Amino acid sequence: MKKKTLPKSSSQEPNLKGTIISVSIIGLIIVASWFGVFGLFLSR
Amino acid sequence: MAIEKLLKYEHDNKFSLTISKSESRLYMSFIGFAFIALFVGGLMGLLQVLVRSGYYTLPAGIDYYQVLTVHGVILGLVLTTYFIIGFQYALMGKTVGISETQFRVAWLGFWIMTLGTIMSAITILYGKASVLYTFYAPLQAHPAFYIGLALVIIGSWIACFVNWRQLYVWKKKHPGEKSPLLAFMVVINMIMWFIATLGVAASVLLQFIPWSLGYAATIDVLLSRTLFWYFGHPLVYFWLLPAYMAWYAIIPKIIGGKIFSDSLARLSFVLFLFFSIPVGLHHQLTEPGVQTTWKFVQIILTFMVIVPSLMTAFSMFATFEITGRRKGFGGLFGWFVHLPWKDVRFLAPFIGMLAFIPGGAGGLINASYQLNSVIHNTIWVTGHFHLTVATTVILTFFGITYWLVPHLTGRKLTPTINRLGIIQTIFWAVGMTIMSTAMHIQGLLGGPRRSAYSEYGGSEQVAEWGAYQVAQAVGGTILFIGIVLMVYIFIKLAFFSPKGNEEFPIAKEEMDAEPTPMWLERWKLWVTITIALILFAYTIPIIDIIQHAPPGSAPFAWPIGNN
Amino acid sequence: MHLHKYEKWWLIFGVGTLIAFLLILAYGAFYLGTHPQSHGVTIDPENIGAEETFKPENLGLTKLDEGKYVLNVVASAFNYDLGTDEEGKPVKHIQIPKGSTVLIQAVTPDVIHGFNIAGTNANMMVEPGFISSMEVTLNKPGEYTLLCNEYCGSGHHMMFATVEVTE
Ligand code: HEM
Ligand SMILES: [Cu+2]
Ligand SMILES: [Cu+2]
């Protein structure tokens, strides 16, 4: 597939600042809970 | 190559098909059956939490594990399958249509499934099949239990064939067009279901039925477990994908927006097809007879199936943000504040999405190889899937019910029911937060799942778990009230709501959306890759399991009281 | 197919995290040798006594050396057989000094059972036809419950013993 069939510059990209912050929070929750149980595993 | 968006398609889309009265009856039969299951299963759930609190004993000598078998089978297998098939038929009927023959075959499927369900249910009620919904050998249930299960699977295959045929016929009539997004998703889900159920069907037909009838003296336990989990993991994705269908293609419409990206939605479904199946060994990590290398290989594949869920999370927030900003709510989170919180068609699935954050994080932990031994078979696992299935999936299904049922019965979702629905959603959210959190913590402390109340000889460690079991009873009771509310709402919407026309919300793409690449419709390629991945992940482990099999196991009926 | 700039970031971060987790797990597994149990050693479930390890006199806790123990267990519906004491009574309580390593070996003559010393990493499935085994070190003193965490029938929740880790 040819990628640039439509001229789309990043300035036309929608503003998704809130989205990237929201998903980052999810990411942090995942990382924190994973290390939490990982720590529990090591301590046992 | 990309397909041009045809004007005609836009036209078709705008005037999406109408669902006839007789079609509605088919779809409503599946959905109605699911709600009966919800009520019965929910009642069992209530009994379980009460027993486990230590303050209640079951009357008339009813066995806890009989109750738990009803709960697991009827909610995990019956409710989900019936709702999903009914919902998916409605999606297909709306987007690609159903022919007279397909319609009749679909009814046949319904009756075969229902016959099977009734057979299994009777054996469970007679106490002849208290084997839980996983029916691990060598516990032996009455043969009718396994035959009933086989019929349910075969009936569901008929739904697969009909759905595939529906899209096939549509594509013949619309050459060169991309298939409607929802139809594409339904067909992916049914391909996954079909390939996955082959495993459990083989196990039930070739192992369990002959063995329970006495034609085979012994059963290969590890093989049966491996075939079960080959099915058991994609089973959870079979539950999840219909929820994702609603998230990707229906929620945007409800909040007044457009689909974020048609191609990314399709791509994520293709990835789910690839990586949902070759991962079942992550349920068998603490088993003695499976090689470590292959356990680890399947762990890597399991981590791959997280990627499409990451994509989905991004798409959801992006849809919310773009829609909010277009309506003029700026700032970092202004869009968030202005989501339609008072519309239960949005609120219920949204709470479902939230539940998937801890649900997904927990799943990642469960699949993390060594970490599995921290939580394996503890009540943490039960807490985990009451977030994923019993909240994310079920609340999304409730969210669908609010518009689908009145749409099918020619009624309206009234403001009163909407308000009641919001209360229902809050009950569910609160009850589940309490129950699931208590389960997660008790699980980390070592409390086992699938266990009636026991003080285990009165040790101090076990005494500490008591408070969490009481909390589960509190949460579970709130949840049960939620179930009663929902069943009431369903009955209202199906039979008593005022007549009218409820919208079937299907979101559209942006006018200037990038065209969806045609390669996403290479069905044969997707199926080939799926099968190749399965062969890669399972061939050697299965050969190894068969070659190094110990002497088989004779049936054991007495431990479950099946004499 | 177009990906938004932020979606690229998100996927790079997400996939990167998954890879990091996998590397940590793989390091533990293949470098340090910490696997969940998987030895594939088979046994005839109808004749477990034929195996020296699981003869009645060899069941229970045996001290091999300073800080080294073996624990042989037969799990059956609905009991853990940990051998008998001097008076011939079944052992339901064992004591292990903290910090010692214990090789646990368990089998079943009937259905599937679990073997979990609650609150520790000693967590395995016990399946007919296989010898389950793993080595654990119990570092925290206290009284732990050994319990069955895989459904095995109507008495499943009555299947337990206690493990005391002593100072
Ligand atoms: C009133 C609401 C509910 C309550 C109070 C409840 C409670 C419980 C409890 C306490 C258990 C664990 C019992 C044990 O391990 O001993 C359990 C297991 C289970 N629940 Fe629920 N639940 C509810 C709703 C649901 C729903 C809606 C679903 C599915 C859509 C569901 C699916 C399951 C499944 C599959 C199991 C596993 C059964 C097994 O381990 O064999 N539950 N439930
Ligand atoms: Cu899984
Ligand atoms: Cu048990």
pLDDT tens-digit readout, C109-167:
999 999 999 999 999 999 999 999 999 999 999 999 999 999 999 999 999 999 999 98
Decide if B3 is inside a domain: no
> What percent of chain B clears pLDDT 90, i.e. is strictly above it?
87
User: Which of C43, A7, C4, C24 lies closest to B551 in space, CA to CA?
Assistant: C43
Give the C-alpha separation, C45 to B337, whole Å: 62
pLDDT digits (tens, 9 = 90+) for B283-329: 999 999 999 999 999 999 999 999 999 999 999 999 999 999 888 88
In a domain, B4, yes or no: no
> Does residue B137 fall inside a structural domain?
yes
Strands (E), B14-129: none
Task: Give the model's pLDDT for residue C122.
Answer: 93
pLDDT value of position A11: 46
Domain membership of residue C150 as a residue range: 48-166
Q: Determine the pLDDT at residue A8.
A: 42
Test site for ligand 1: of B35, B66, B75, most ligand atoms within 8 A of the Cβ? B75
pLDDT value at residue A1: 39
Q: Specify whether C8 is located in the same domain as C59.
A: no
- Asked, for residue B394, whether it belongs to a domain, the answer is yes
Per-residue pLDDT tens over the stretch B441-496: 999 999 999 999 999 988 889 999 999 999 999 999 999 999 999 999 999 999 99
For an interface test with A, give the residue of B178, B303, B311, B321 to mutate (most A CBs within 10 A).
B321
Please count the residues of chain A. 44
How many domains does one find in chain B?
A: 1
Ligand sitting nearest the alpha carbon of C155? 3
Taking an 8 Å cut-off on Cβ atoms, the answer to whether A16 and B514 are in contact is: no
Q: How far is C121 from chain A (nearest CA, A)?
A: 6
Same domain flag for C29 and C74 = no
Angstroms from C157 CA to nearest CA on chain B: 5
Q: Which residues of B are catalytic?
A: 233, 237, 384-386, 449-450
User: How far apart, in whole angstroms, are the C-alpha atoms of residue B129 and residue C162?
Assistant: 31
**Same domain for C126 and C161:** yes
The DSSP-derived string for B329-379 is --TTTHHHHTS-TT-HHHHHHHHHHHHHHHHHHHHHHHTSGGGHHHHTTBH
One domain for residues C15 and C92 = no
Do C101 and C123 belong to one domain? yes
Q: Would residue B451 count as lying in a domain? A: yes
User: Does C42 fall in a domain?
Assistant: no
Query: Is residue C43, in this structure, part of any structural domain at all?
Result: no
B47: pLDDT strictly greater than 90? yes
Give domain status of residue C5, yes or no: yes
A22 touching chain B per CB within 8 A: yes
CATH number of the domain bearing residue B308: 1.20.210.10
Least confident of B208-212, B223-227, B258-262, B381-385: B258-262
User: Of all protein residues, whose CA lies closest to atom 38 belonging to ligand 1?
Assistant: B72
Q: Which residues contact A23 (CB under 8 A, 6 or more apart)?
A: B310, B313, B314, B317, C10
C12 burial type by CB count under 10 A (0-12 exposed, 13-18 middle, 19+ buried)? exposed
pLDDT tens, residue by residue, B92-134: 999 999 999 999 999 999 999 999 999 999 999 999 999 999 9
Give a yes or no: residue B1 inside a domain: no
Domain with B308 in it: 19-507+528-560
Yes or no, beta carbons of B374 and A16 under 8 Å apart? no
Whether the link from the prior residue into C78 is cis, omega within 30° of 0, is yes
Give how many domains chain C has, as a whole number: 2
- pTM for this predicted structure: 0.94
Residue B326 lies in a domain: yes
Residue nearest to atom 4 of ligand 1 (CA): B45
Report CA(B435)–ligand 1 centroid distance (Å).
10
pLDDT of residue C160: 94
Residue B514 lies in a domain: no
Residues C28 and C58 in one domain: no
Residue B4 burial (CB count, 10 A): 9
